[in-house]
Amino acid sequence: MHLDKAMLQLAVREGVLQPDQVAPLWALLEQANAERPGFRASHLLYYFGGLLAIGAMTLFMNLGWERFGGWGLVLISLSYAIPGLLLTNHFMRQRMFIPAGIIATFVLALTPLAVYGLQQALGLWADGEAYRDYHRDIDWRWLLMELATLAAGAVLLWRYRLPFLVMPVAVTLWYMSMDLTPFLFGELDYSWELRRWVSLYVGLLMTLLAFWVDIRTRFARDYAFWLYLFGLLAFWGALSCMDSNSELGKALYCLINLGLIVLGAILSRRIFVICGGLGVSFYVGHLAYDLFKDSLLFPFALTLLGFAVIGAGLWWQRHEAHLVQRLRALLPEALRELLEQRQG
């Protein structure tokens, strides 16, 4: 629930609060929410600057960096990582958790570069790929870099307990699943169809892992957000790219997306609703432009369906408190506590 000054003024008018209680209560709420990610100017600057720095050392690297040689890349990584860790510790002591998480994530993002440089320096790097291709090409040579990133991520998460650190861990898990595909199945089976199936199953497993993390950390910070985001994007993206020549398959795709919308509403996770809504829109577009492109009645039927959904929303609003109470009583205690924490 979003709480603002207008709601506090409403509480004053209703006699719930005294007028002299509004200012100290609002100050307390602002202090409590200062380090909760939100659409604030300071937070936008934190994330924009952090993503620029992370991108500079990952996505935007070019072949010119190869001139530094293996040991040069290791030294560059350490020259960034050591001050980064010191700065992270400083922000943690100041209880500035958002910039601390961004800096710690920047340090973690340096791990693949450091491992790549070390492999080159020791003569262990197999020719054929350069570091700038790490985020673009699928290749088994990246596996050691990914394992090192996961290990470093586990250590940093254990040390700092900062949710933003889960972001590169989630990305690396997806990278690893794709890089393992040619390693396990061989180059002959390395097809686009196989990549879609791998992405589908790995995305589903990551989403289930996110749900487990959500349950385990229901009274703490939101560590599951990035796992949900990348897991669901991998699953839904692969599902949406599947080729289906049957209307039954397309209808099943629509039902899965409707299920995502319901799950998003239950878990208070917008990414489920966004992906599910896009998927349902794709299916409705298919019906309008392919299956019923010459039908005069389809727009009327779709309009009636829209009004029926609105009617269902009105009915739910009237009975929401009673229905939610009865439905939550059927759930396991851990899941019930999670929903109460997320929704209030």
Q: What are the tens digits of pLDDT across the range 326-335?
A: 777 777 788 7
Predicted confidence band of residue 243 (pLDDT cuts 50, 70, 90): confident
Q: What are the tens digits of pLDDT across the range 209-226?
A: 999 998 888 877 888 999
DSSP secondary structure letter of residue 115: H
> C-alpha 137: how far from its chain's center?
22
Give the per-residue pLDDT at 31: 58
Express as a percent the part of the chain with pLDDT over 90.
30
Examine residue 101 and state whether it is found in any structural domain, yes or no.
yes
Give the per-residue pLDDT at 62: 64
Express as a percent the part of the chain with pLDDT over 70.
83
pTM assigned to the model: 0.81
Task: For residues 169 and 171, give the distance between their C-alpha atoms in angstroms, rounded to a whole number.
Answer: 6
Query: Which of 255, 268, 254, 186 lies closest to 225 in space, CA to CA?
Result: 268
Task: For residues 35 and 182, give the distance between their C-alpha atoms in angstroms, rounded to a whole number.
Answer: 43
Predicted confidence band of residue 146 (pLDDT cuts 50, 70, 90): very high
Examine residue 181 and state whether it is found in any structural domain, yes or no.
no
Q: Are 250 and 286 in contact (CB under 8 A)?
A: yes
Which residues does 335 contact at the CB level (< 8 Å), separation at least 6?
A: 215
Flag whether pLDDT at 20 surpasses 80.
Answer: no
Give the per-residue pLDDT at 332: 79
Give the per-residue pLDDT at 236: 93
Q: Poorest-confidence range of 84-88, 260-264, 288-292?
A: 288-292
Structure tokens at 255: 């039902």
Instruction: Identify the domain boundary among 149, 167, 185.
Output: 167
Environment class of 142 (CB within 10 Å of its CB; exposed 0-12, middle 13-18, buried 19+): buried
Q: Are 337 and 328 in contact (CB under 8 A)?
A: no
Give the per-residue pLDDT at 270: 86
Give the per-residue pLDDT at 300: 76
Examine residue 338 and state whether it is found in any structural domain, yes or no.
yes
3-class secondary structure, 167 = helix
The better pLDDT of the pair 339, 71 is held by 71
Q: Poorest-confidence range of 9-13, 80-84, 191-195, 259-263?
A: 9-13
Give the per-residue pLDDT at 199: 87
CA end-to-end span of the chain:
7
Count other Cβ atoms within 10 Å, centred on residue 329: 8
Structure tokens at 245: 């020549």
Examine residue 231 and state whether it is found in any structural domain, yes or no.
no
- The average confidence (pLDDT) of the chain is 82
Task: For residues 68 and 75, give the distance between their C-alpha atoms in angstroms, rounded to a whole number.
Answer: 10
Give the per-residue pLDDT at 328: 72
Give the per-residue pLDDT at 38: 60
Query: Which of 167, 197, 168 lies closest to 180 in space, CA to CA?
Result: 197
Q: What are the tens digits of pLDDT across the range 52-94?
A: 888 887 777 666 677 788 899 899 999 999 999 999 999 999 8
| Pure H helices in 217-269 | 225-240, 247-267
With b for 16 or more beta-carbon neighbours within 10 A and e for fewer, the 271-298 pattern comes to bbbbbbeebbeebeebbeeeeeeeeeee
Examine residue 244 and state whether it is found in any structural domain, yes or no.
no
Flag whether pLDDT at 187 surpasses 70.
Answer: no
Give the per-residue pLDDT at 153: 95
Which residues constitute the domain of residue 325? 315-344
The better pLDDT of the pair 117, 136 is held by 117
Task: For residues 298 and 292, give the distance between their C-alpha atoms in angstroms, rounded to a whole number.
Answer: 7
Query: Which of 64, 177, 69, 172 lies closest to 120 in space, CA to CA?
Result: 69
Q: Are 81 and 110 in contact (CB under 8 A)?
A: yes
Task: Summarize the confidence of residues 294-305 as an average pLDDT.
Answer: 74
Structure tokens at 333: 């205690």
Give the per-residue pLDDT at 295: 72
Examine residue 306 and state whether it is found in any structural domain, yes or no.
no
Examine residue 208 and state whether it is found in any structural domain, yes or no.
no
Flag whether pLDDT at 113 surpasses 80.
Answer: yes
Task: Summarize the confidence of residues 271-275 as an average pLDDT.
Answer: 90
Q: Are 170 and 271 in contact (CB under 8 A)?
A: no
Give the per-residue pLDDT at 312: 78
Query: How many domains, in total, are found in the chain?
Result: 2
Examine residue 26 and state whether it is found in any structural domain, yes or no.
no
Instruction: Identify the domain boundary among 123, 148, 167.
Output: 167
Give the per-residue pLDDT at 127: 72
Q: What is the per-residue DSSP string for 261-273?
A: HHHHHHHT-HHHH
Give the per-residue pLDDT at 306: 77
Q: What is the per-residue DSSP string for 146-161?
A: HHHHHHHHHHHHHHH-
3-class secondary structure, 305 = helix
Q: What is the per-residue DSSP string for 70-114?
A: HHHHHHHHHHHHHHHHHHHHHHHHTT-HHHHHHHHHHHHHTHHHH
Instruction: Identify the domain boundary among 121, 140, 167.
Output: 167
